[in-house]
Chain A
């Protein structure tokens, strides 16, 4: 059996940043297992710019952002196996992986970092009646066809869902000569970043129809059109508002799902809201020595934040490995972080009282809020309060809790909430 101090599953931005950070913290034998043919993950097909503004202070394309980490990796002796798929995580941190050169490998790891990313919600999850014609695909699949394979998957396009990939693809397909008829969004607000609405829709003259959805697909072989309808406050189509839109392609950008099949298989506790693992401030999961970061933990808006989160996990894994696999004494020393009134979820969900630095709590809100305060309380005590001009579900927020405050907490529970 192969033996490594740290096995990182996934060689996208999360896995690369976590591995590099662990190395920087002194971990010796590290391997990254990546299922695709190259490192970089989804960044490889994101040829638009907008990456790195926070982390590098400059605007990079996806491949450029990935390249910086790939180059850093090359300077180390961190091993990388591409085209390699992890199929099982067995007890005692043994990983089973397969590829076409090594066959089936079993790897004993001291610590594991889960960085498998996320996938797009497919049509089946949408309850969308109609035909099964070709031409209905996720925005990310279309992005791969256009940017990697060099083929156009359609000419007359309707996009359902205003997630960032959908917005990016609205612009991309337009620039490639397709006619993007509209972007329909079920909610009364967009799920994407404001800058993407401006740059990808407004600048391209593509209408964004809010509170609107596709209620039927038409066409026997290739898609011929869709029926759209407005929805009421319960997101139900309003009879009489149906409208037929001719198109040969329907792109779906209706949400991302963290890919936690391995995580579940490993018996790790999952947060029903984030669909990612429940973690502590170093992103350690409920299984000692297994950490999670990036979109497999929670879906991020910006890769910059993925990088930051993954560095935290890399550092956490290093501490675990270098202390000889010592388990953080979880139960009694743990402060639970709760989400309440307007806050949908928080990451991390747990903080060790004996932690050694400030902790940033990341969260998303449930609706669009204006002039609202983000408040963190412990019992009756307010330990953080700041007013925000605007909060939206599409933009991840965070609050930093000072190390001193953590040590002084009167109870083993803190709550993040909104106050008008």
Chain B
């Protein structure tokens, strides 16, 4: 199988870059080791669009963060992805922290963040009536927002496929050889030949780079644990609420999500090189979140938690605290897009453009396609329609009248759409990320078995071949006696 470009890793960075490259008249393939896109950090992060005052002045991170924040709404509109421009507040609890706000403000101004403001206690209380008593003031950044990160990833993947890119899931890369101007990428589903490689492998980007002899960076996973709360907790928080940053990150945040839940987290724990699959939550981590949130919004408790989860930041050891986005010193046809920890999600649209331009200079032989489809059709979301609109849809296709997920009001028609989509769902969690079936307060207790049935029927496989999230995550064993 021969391609012009291989992109490795179908997180938000890999899929957005693949979509960008699908504008060019060439053969592009995106390889993903898991059963779906968005299976790593892209599905387990803070889902925040950062305004851009955190990154050090003059870094690539600062530039791409601010650019990404300004592009996000445009891309989310194009790709029909939930996004809300709710703004963020960094809350200070001491005079010392008030001073930190000024540092952040100055840094933000230099990074080009627009319209920031340091606000006092009174204004803060007006904006966040439930904020804890100790809060003295905050840094207000109106360009910040919230986005559904896995839906951005899925949407970019779908749009890339529509524009001719290929996505091979369950295709982990275990070796890369370069000879006679061609990469030979060995995957669990065969050898892929390509002229260029773009390494977007997240926490594994160092291992992929090592395969071509590039040992210039090492990545450790920095674990962050989260709680996702029921929508009934949403009444207590209006904006993204950060605490003052420390050396380990931006501290525990409290924020609404694009779907109206509340997200608490992340913690920050450095793991060793061999723990790149460790997304277990820990009692210490969960306790830390609970303790920390009390200060921010005392009314919010984890009593109405829907789930807790952990994600991994791709942290470059002894690095310059910057993204690594450049051709490898070991091979100039191999671009590393590595160390994309926060604000990687925010920067994703800008990173895609940046890499697209870099690739254009590296490989000027590829022309732009005459026709590039830049938008993704909006999926039907029955729960968001009025009764009259719902009636219209059901009239055309009765499957939209059969509600499968009670908590979120998701119908059979929507689940089938998710399965039939380009780069469609193949497992229970993939349906959940695309439709929200199973994302509600019963966590799939009722609909899980029905979704499993629909998947088996639509994919024409026995029920016990359907998994929770690919590979060995099987749900059912043999038939009963």
A221 and B473 form a contact (CB under 8 A): yes
A106 and B387 form a contact (CB under 8 A): yes
Q: Which residues of A contact B282 (CB under 8 A)?
A: 129
Q: Which residues of A contact B277 (CB under 8 A)?
A: 220
Q: A119-B446, A120-B445, A134-B468 given as contacts; is B286 within 8 A of A127 (CB)?
A: yes
A145 and B449 form a contact (CB under 8 A): yes
A130 to B286, alpha carbons, bound, how many Å?
Answer: 11
A130 to B476, alpha carbons, bound, how many Å?
Answer: 21
B271 CB within 8 Å of chain A: no
A96 to B385, alpha carbons, bound, how many Å?
Answer: 13
A127 to B285, alpha carbons, bound, how many Å?
Answer: 11
Q: Which residues of B contact A216 (CB under 8 A)?
A: 280, 283
Interface string of A134-174 (1 = CB under 8 A from B): 11011011001110011111110000000000000000000
B443 and A123 form a contact (CB under 8 A): yes
In the assembled complex, the CB of A30 is this many whole angstroms from the nearest CB of chain B, namely 23
Residue in contact with A100 in the complex, picked from B398, B443, B469, CB distance below 8 Å: B398
A151 to B465, alpha carbons, bound, how many Å?
Answer: 11
Interface string of B458-472 (1 = CB under 8 A from A): 000001100111011
Q: Which residues of A contact B245 (CB under 8 A)?
A: none
Residue of A nearest to B305 (CB): A124
B445 and A141 form a contact (CB under 8 A): yes
B448 and A124 form a contact (CB under 8 A): no
Which of A88, A124, A153, A215 counts the most chain B CB atoms within 10 A? Answer: A124
A18 to B445, alpha carbons, bound, how many Å?
Answer: 26
B403 CB within 8 Å of chain A: yes
Number of B residues whose C-beta is below 8 Å from A?
Answer: 56
B308 and A104 form a contact (CB under 8 A): no
B457 CB within 8 Å of chain A: no
B477 and A130 form a contact (CB under 8 A): no
A245 CB within 8 Å of chain B: no
Residue in contact with A122 in the complex, picked from B302, B390, B443, B449, CB distance below 8 Å: B443
B132 CB within 8 Å of chain A: no
Residue of B nearest to A135 (CB): B475
Residue of B nearest to A90 (CB): B387
Q: Which residues of A contact B390 (CB under 8 A)?
A: 98, 103-104
Q: A129-B280, A215-B283 given as contacts; is B472 within 8 A of A153 (CB)?
A: no
A134 and B308 form a contact (CB under 8 A): no
B479 and A222 form a contact (CB under 8 A): no
A102 to B387, alpha carbons, bound, how many Å?
Answer: 13
A368 to B126, alpha carbons, bound, how many Å?
Answer: 49
Residue of B nearest to A215 (CB): B283
A129 and B286 form a contact (CB under 8 A): yes
Number of A residues whose C-beta is below 8 Å from B?
Answer: 53
A83 CB within 8 Å of chain B: yes
Residue in contact with A123 in the complex, picked from B307, B401, B449, CB distance below 8 Å: B307
A131 and B279 form a contact (CB under 8 A): yes
B445 and A145 form a contact (CB under 8 A): no
A132 CB within 8 Å of chain B: yes
In the assembled complex, the CB of B171 is this many whole angstroms from the nearest CB of chain A, namely 17
B130 CB within 8 Å of chain A: no
B481 and A103 form a contact (CB under 8 A): no
Q: Which residues of B contact A130 (CB under 8 A)?
A: 280-281
B110 CB within 8 Å of chain A: no
Residue of A nearest to B44 (CB): A132
A417 to B309, alpha carbons, bound, how many Å?
Answer: 42
Apart from the given pairs A100-B394, A104-B387, 14 other A-B contacts in the complex at a CB distance below 8 Å? A35-B403, A35-B406, A88-B387, A104-B394, A120-B442, A122-B445, A134-B469, A134-B473, A137-B445, A149-B476, A220-B277, A220-B472, A221-B474, A222-B473
- List 6 tightest A-B contacts by C-beta distance, closest first: A100-B398, A221-B472, A134-B468, A122-B443, A100-B401, A124-B307
Can you give 30 A-B contacts (C-beta < 8 A)?
A: A35-B403, A87-B387, A98-B394, A98-B403, A100-B402, A101-B401, A103-B390, A104-B387, A104-B394, A120-B445, A122-B441, A123-B307, A124-B307, A124-B443, A125-B306, A127-B302, A130-B280, A135-B475, A138-B445, A140-B445, A145-B449, A149-B463, A151-B463, A153-B475, A177-B481, A216-B283, A217-B280, A218-B280, A221-B471, A222-B474
**Chain B residues proximal to chain A, CB less than 8 Å:** 228, 277, 279-283, 285-286, 302, 305-309, 387-388, 390-391, 394-395, 398-403, 406-407, 409, 412, 441-446, 448-449, 453, 463-464, 467-469, 471-481
**Chain A residues proximal to chain B, CB less than 8 Å:** 35, 83, 85, 87-88, 96, 98-104, 106, 119-120, 122-125, 127, 129-135, 137-138, 140-141, 144-146, 149-155, 176-177, 215-218, 220-222, 259, 261
